[in-house]
Chain A
Amino acid sequence: MSGHSTYEPKTGIERWLDARLPIIRFAKETAIDFPTPKNLNYWYTFGGILAVCLVVQILTGVILAMHYVPNGDMAFNSVEHIMRDVNYGWLIRYMHANGASMFFLAVYIHIARGLYYGSYKAPREVLWILGCIIYLLMMATAFMGYVLPWGQMSFAGAVVITSLFSALDQIIPGLGTAITTWLWGGFAVGGATLNRFFSLHYLLPFMIAGVVGLHIWALHVPGNNNPTGVEPTSKEDMVPFHPYYTVKDGFAISAFFILFAWFVFFAPEALGHVDNQVPANPLVTPAHIVPEWYFLPFYAILRSVPQKLFGVLAMFGSIAMLFALPWLDTSKVRSMRYRPTARIFLILFVLATIGLGWCGGKEPADMVITMGHDANNDPTGFSVVWFSRILAIYYYAYFVLILPLLGLFETPSEVPTTISTPVLPKGGSAIPAGAVAAPEKKG
């Protein structure tokens, strides 16, 4: 992290501070001078977008918490009070609710970018794992946040997700029940559950912020990966973070905000579910329980397995795969730009995940392809549950079969010797051939 500082304290007070807490030096090194590969494309702007998303969620969330009442009898109305009586409450709430969706949209693109350019490979495994932890924390936070308005879908969602843990009864009798009772703060989802979810929903974002700090630290040790997947070899390959990436990220963040604002102002409930405008009623179960869109692929995996315990394991396992990824991919080539075969499998993987998301929004017995009707006039054919089984198998195969084997058998295309090679005129290399023999040693 150090070594590229050009900071020279100019005034007396700066020199005084620099000798005691070199915080200005630190800021200059990490956010201004930090050498960054010059070939990062727009897919790389999502890191900055995510940082802004986190700030937006925390700021709007803190304000919402000033008006929200975490009580089973009052939560629903307190949210409506925010929408009606609090100055710009509607804006703050819609930013927070849609901000969660934007956050996930951005994190999915950020993860997909990492998958494509091999950003999880050595020496960036810790960086990648910290990212996976952030993603897990985001899921927990979003889930608990969705419970807070205490509508019908909030309640049903809380019941479905917390009772997943009861599957543990099949391993150690009583364990699952004990955990669910402990999560609920009683014998059913109720006011006590709501209250503790609110507490945790307020806590977790600050834990996310902490892990984001580590994530950025872990990024600044090996430095950014880049679309070629080739480590930088010379100063030629780099530009200082500021102004080059502040302006590029700034442009991308602003463009992203156009999409965000479109949802907030013109379609604020398009991503929600109408049932959540009905106050929670334990005696009425919604006809179709669907989670928020960003959980649908995992919901589909859960439901694709007929046995509950294995369904739960399959669901959590699908996320565990991400953690193991750095050691599952055996290829020496980092970027899939130079792995034509792997690239096809990755595109299929993304499509399979989107397909799983589609399945998660349908009923398992719905038909993908209807071939006929049975005696009750119910359609028969290729059902959603079978489709999600096939997709889930591919999801797993990508991690445990395709990536480990492909790295051993595929023939990658020619990898450029330096970052600058692909952009220079034909045959040109940024530096004399001899210099390549001593690539900068990092990590």
Chain B
Amino acid sequence: MLRKSALIRTAVAGLGLLAVIGAGSVAGAATTQAPLKEVPGGFSFEGPLGKFDQASMQRGFKVYAEVCASCHAMSLMSYRNLCQPGGPFYDERWKDHPAESPYCKAIAADVKVPDIDPDTGDAIQRPATPADHFRSPFPNEPAARASNGGALPPDLSVMARAREGGPQYIYSILTGYVAPPAGLTIAPGKFYNPYMPGDLGSSWSGSKTTVPLGGVIAMPFQLTAGRVTFDDGTPSTTSQQAKDVATFLAWTAEPKQQERKEAGLAVMIYLIFFTGILYLSYRRIWRDVAH
């Protein structure tokens, strides 16, 4: 339900939008972005037959839990999801009861989530259970903004489907921080990133023809080498951490992706076969009709 102030803001924004549309052919600001980076080795889940790399997802979850989770919520995910078929901590033994899996219980138990004490009504913190949603780092949007210089760290649940390029975009952003070229003014608390879509024309002192590609982002560089220690001994480079967290986010954005592709293969084979049979029937039924 929209509250009254929100309603008024909505109305104002709507009118603003109308003005934009009414203006019609006014030249839009030129948003630019550097071409996305190649991910070393590519993503295993790409292509019609791609599959998720479970070890990479596990590492990616660790990167998320130890780094990203301090700023970004993932409200569509529950701890139990991590153990469901296709998930990073899936184990055959708990196939039908992912929430019973000791992995998920252990992961959840490490996290404290806010709750209401059923006896006293007091606000309390209790250990999470697999049924709980991932804990959000901030109680509300203003708190999230206040801690991030006014910027809102977006929910990452479907991030890998919410940007052009998806996982490759996430990889490029996370590894793409470079020093701003001389002549570019970056406000304090903001960072230059060539892969962030933006228009730097107004903060560029040089010629209009050489405006740097990309934009500014309010998220500081996160994945310094060795930031997360991987339990499986994989060297923790910036690129590796970024690739793994991008893999994890690709899975959270669409946990049924692999199931979809596997079903698709079977459906395709069936349809092609069935279509072939129908074609032969067609030829047979029409064989005596000149047409």
Contact = CB atoms under 8 A, between A and B. Distances in A.
A393 interface: no
B225 interface: no
Interface class of chain A by DSSP? helix
B163 A274 contact: yes
A22 interface: no
B1 A73 contact: yes
Contacts of B275: 251, 254-255, 257-258
Contacts of B201: 376
A277 B264 contact: no
Interface stretch (A53-61, A239-247, A340-348): A239-247
B24 A306 contact: yes
B161 to A, nearest CB: 5
B233 to A, nearest CB: 32
A265 B163 CA distance: 20
A311 B21 CA distance: 12
Contacts of B291: 38-39, 423
B127 interface: no
Interface residues of B, number: 64
A72 B197 CA distance: 28
Interface string B250-291: 000111100111011101100110110011011001100111
A188 interface: yes
A72 B1 contact: yes
A2 to B, nearest CB: 25
B260 A244 contact: no
A190 B27 CA distance: 29
A239 B290 CA distance: 11
B271 A254 contact: yes
Interface stretch (A23-31, A99-107, A125-133, A281-289): A281-289
Contacts of A378: 27, 30
A378 B30 CA distance: 8
B120 interface: no
Contacts of B6: 282
Nearest to B158: A277
Contacts of A190: 2, 7, 10
B282 A189 contact: no
Contacts of A239: 289
B157 A187 contact: no
B173 to A, nearest CB: 14
A235 B291 CA distance: 14
Contacts of B278: 247, 250-251, 254
Contacts of A250: 278, 281-282
B16 interface: yes
Interface string A291-334: 00000000000010010100100000000000000000000000
A218 interface: no
Contacts of A72: 1-2
Contacts of A364: 24-25
Nearest to A72: B2
A186 B75 CA distance: 30
A187 B282 contact: no
B13 interface: yes
A258 B14 contact: no
A208 B281 CA distance: 32
Contact of A278 (B9, B10, B21, B162): B162
A282 B10 contact: yes
A282 B10 CA distance: 5
Contacts of B268: 258, 261-262, 265
Interface string A162-185: 010010000000000000000000
Contact of A247 (B163, B208, B285): B285
Given A377-B211, A378-B27, A248 B18 contact: no
Interface residues on A, range: 35 or more
A166 B17 CA distance: 13
B208 A274 contact: no
B82 to A, nearest CB: 13
Nearest to A366: B28
Contacts of A80: 76, 157-158
A147 B24 CA distance: 23
Contacts of B253: 277
B261 A265 contact: yes
Interface string A129-147: 0000000000000000000
Given A156-B17, A373-B209, A83 B254 contact: yes
A258 B11 contact: no
B162 A285 contact: no
B106 interface: no
Given A266-B48, A268-B260, A188 B271 contact: no
A365 interface: yes
B20 interface: yes
Contacts of A363: 28
B31 interface: yes
Nearest to A378: B27
Interface in A174-221: 186-191
Contact of B285 (A163, A166, A243): A243
Interface in A7-57: 38-39
A124 B278 CA distance: 31
A224 interface: no
A160 interface: yes
A435 B55 CA distance: 79
A356 interface: no
A91 interface: yes
A424 interface: yes
A53 B154 CA distance: 37
Given A187-B11, A248-B282, A278-B162, A84 B271 contact: no
Indicate the member of B1, B17, B197, B254 with the most A CB atoms within 10 Å.
B17
Nearest to B14: A188
Nearest to A364: B25
A159 interface: yes
7 contacts: A77-B75, A188-B11, A188-B13, A248-B286, A258-B268, A275-B162, A376-B208
The 3 nearest A-B residue pairs measured at CB: A265-B264, A277-B162, A377-B208
Given A94-B260, A189-B14, 8 more contacts: A156-B17, A163-B17, A186-B7, A248-B286, A265-B268, A282-B10, A285-B13, A385-B25
Interface of B: 1-2, 6-7, 9-11, 13-14, 16-18, 20-22, 24-28, 30-31, 48, 75-76, 81, 154, 157-158, 161-164, 166, 197, 201, 208-209, 211, 253-256, 259-261, 263-265, 267-268, 271-272, 274-275, 278-279, 281-282, 285-286, 289-291
